[in-house]
Amino acid sequence: MTKTIDKTMSAADVVGQLADGMTIGIGGWGPRRKPMALVREILRSPLKDLTVVAYGGPEVGMLCAAGKVRRLVFGFVSLDVIPLEPYFRQARERGQLEVTELDEGMLQLGLRAAAARLPFLPTRAALGTDVLDRNPHLKTVRSPYDDGEVLLAMPAIPLDAALLHVNESDVLGNTRIDGPDPFFDEWFARAARRCYVSCETLHPRLEDTDLARARSNPFERALVTGVVHAPAGAHPTSCAPAYGWDLPALKSYCASADAEDGFRAYRDEVVGDSEAHYLACIGGLGHVHDLPLPVL
């Protein structure tokens, strides 16, 4: 008899396995498919002194505003139609966090190096730019072949844990991303010692006989430590094709950055003490599933 390994957890269970000082990779891209239900659970916790690695969106600003981030490794922090995340901007301007600002491709290569258990991967990215001036720890290497080209040695970015959000998962950790923007989630998963996935829909078992559907499974279930069923778990970011981003909610969140003690009010009134509180505050699942997909 085959025993099924059930990896389902609650968001609180996931955060309970994280610790102060960890390096946490957060998947998604700007305001798209961020694991916001897991991020909100971190906001409700005492977790602190984190190094966050991300192609950042609102999760970065919220974690910075809550005093959770010591260091940020990032390619950008943006809400797309709102170009610069306001709480991230405040944290930068006030010198409240250490930063490693990278070219988007360099960040991917750092994750890929960690996934391959390599110390670095060579690249031409950043050569001749201010990236090297702002990151003096970065080093160059010379090709050992006849070309002798000097290349940047992008160091590996190993993660203690990765947090991702997907459209579907099963209890075994098989996942499916149905939208057009899987981008680099698989490299977050592969670079991490532990990977936690939240999902819109949870199945007992994903069984694909359609090859096209099977290709939506971006990484092996063996990489997944835990699965959290979190409908609307990416809100206020998008989770195509299920729902788009909630621009009014994002604007309201951004406006709180202009108010004195604005984030405390946002955390208390909107994030609240549970995901049930949050969903009720933003209009429920029906509101989220009615959000139109953005036209890019």
Tens-place pLDDT, residues 162-180: 999 999 999 999 999 999 8
Structure tokens at 60: 């970065």
Mean pLDDT of 24-47: 98
How many other CB atoms are there within 10 angstroms of residue 32's CB atom?
24
- Confidence band (pLDDT; 50, 70, 90) for 262? very high
Structure tokens at 51: 């190094």
Mean pLDDT of 34-44: 98
Instruction: Report the half-sphere exposure of 166 (CA within 13 A, side-chain side).
Output: 29
Q: Which residue has the tokens 């050569």?
A: 127
Tens-place pLDDT, residues 185-200: 999 999 999 999 999 9
Contacts of 264 (CB under 8 A, 6+ apart): none
Rounded to whole angstroms, how far apart are CA atoms 33 and 180?
A: 11
The torsion region of residue 8 among left (phi > 0), alpha (psi -120 to 50) and beta comes to: beta
CATH 3.40.1080.10 residue ranges of the chain are 11-103+158-204+213-233
Per CATH, the architecture of 11-103+158-204+213-233 is what?
3-Layer(aba) Sandwich (3.40)
- Confidence band (pLDDT; 50, 70, 90) for 202? very high
Residue 214 confidence (pLDDT) above 90 = no
Average pLDDT of the chain, as a whole number:
95
Q: How far is CA 112 from CA 150, 157, 182, 294, in A?
A: 20, 8, 15, 30
